[in-house]
A and B are shown apart, each in its own frame.
Chain A
Amino acid sequence: MSGQAPPLGARLTTTWLRAYTRRLPHDVAVARRDEVLADVHDQLSDDGSTSTAQRSRAIAVRMLLGIPADLSWRTEQARTTRSARHQEIAMNDIASTRNRGLAIGLGVLVVAWGATMTIGSVLADVGDAPDDATALWAWFAFAAASAVGVVGLVLLARGRDRGAALLAFAAVGTTLPFFWMPPIPIAGLLLAAFFVGHLWRRPTLA
Chain B
Amino acid sequence: MGRYLPNNLDMARRRPGTLLPLEVGLLEAAVELQRAGQGDCYGYALAKALAGDSGDRRLVAHGTLYKALGRLTSAGLLDSLWEDPAVAEQEGRPRRRLYRVTGAGAEALAGAHAADSAAGRRGTPWPGTAPA
The smallest C-beta distance from A120 to any residue of chain B, in angstroms, reads 67
- The yes or no answer to B7 lying at the interface (CB within 8 A) is yes
Instruction: Report A28-72 residues with CB < 8 Å from chain B CB.
Output: 31-32, 34-39, 41-43, 45-46, 48, 50, 55, 58, 61-72
> Are the C-beta atoms of B94 and A13 separated by less than 8 Å?
no
- The yes or no answer to A134 lying at the interface (CB within 8 A) is no
- The yes or no answer to A2 lying at the interface (CB within 8 A) is yes
A37 CA to B96 CA in the complex, in Å? 9
How many chain A residues touch B (Cβ–Cβ < 8 Å)? 32
Instruction: Report B81-132 residues with CB < 8 Å from chain A CB.
Output: 82, 88, 92-97, 128-132
Partner of A42 from B66, B82, B93, B128 at Cβ < 8 Å: B93
> Are the C-beta atoms of A67 and B63 separated by less than 8 Å?
yes
Query: In the complex where A2-B92, A48-B132, A58-B131 touch, is A66 in contact with B97 (Cβ < 8 A)?
Result: no
Q: Which residue of A lies closest to B8 (CB)?
A: A72
> Are the C-beta atoms of B67 and A62 separated by less than 8 Å?
no
- The yes or no answer to B75 lying at the interface (CB within 8 A) is no
- The yes or no answer to A73 lying at the interface (CB within 8 A) is yes
A64 CA to B64 CA in the complex, in Å? 11
Partner of A39 from B1, B44, B88, B130 at Cβ < 8 Å: B44
How many chain B residues touch A (Cβ–Cβ < 8 Å)? 36
A65 CA to B131 CA in the complex, in Å? 11
A-B pairs with CB below 8 Å: how many?
104
> Are the C-beta atoms of A73 and B94 separated by less than 8 Å?
no
Partner of B97 from A35, A55, A73 at Cβ < 8 Å: A35
> Are the C-beta atoms of B93 and A41 separated by less than 8 Å?
yes
The smallest C-beta distance from A28 to any residue of chain B, in angstroms, reads 10
Q: Which residue of A lies closest to B68 (CB)?
A: A69
Partner of A65 from B66, B94, B128 at Cβ < 8 Å: B128
Q: Which residue of B lies closest to A37 (CB)?
A: B94
Q: Which residue of B lies closest to A33 (CB)?
A: B94
Query: In the complex where A37-B94, A38-B44 touch, is A73 in contact with B132 (Cβ < 8 A)?
Result: no
> Are the C-beta atoms of A68 and B4 separated by less than 8 Å?
yes
The interface residues of chain B lying within 8 Å CB-to-CB of A43 are 44, 59, 132
> Are the C-beta atoms of A63 and B132 separated by less than 8 Å?
no
Q: Mark interface residues in B34-73 (1 if CB within 8 Å of A CB, else 0).
A: 0000000011110110000000010111111111001000
A168 CA to B32 CA in the complex, in Å? 70
The smallest C-beta distance from B128 to any residue of chain A, in angstroms, reads 5
> Are the C-beta atoms of A35 and B130 separated by less than 8 Å?
no
Give residues in A with beta carbon < 8 Å to B: 2, 13, 31-32, 34-39, 41-43, 45-46, 48, 50, 55, 58, 61-73
A-B contact pairs, 6 of them (CB 8 A): A35-B43, A42-B44, A65-B1, A67-B63, A69-B128, A72-B8
Give residues in B with beta carbon < 8 Å to A: 1, 4-5, 7-8, 11, 42-45, 47-48, 57, 59-67, 70, 82, 88, 92-97, 128-132
**Other A-B pairs beyond A61-B130, A62-B130, A73-B70, 20, CB < 8 Å:** A31-B97, A35-B66, A37-B94, A38-B95, A41-B94, A42-B43, A42-B96, A43-B59, A46-B44, A46-B48, A58-B130, A65-B64, A66-B63, A67-B63, A68-B8, A69-B61, A70-B62, A70-B67, A72-B8, A72-B11
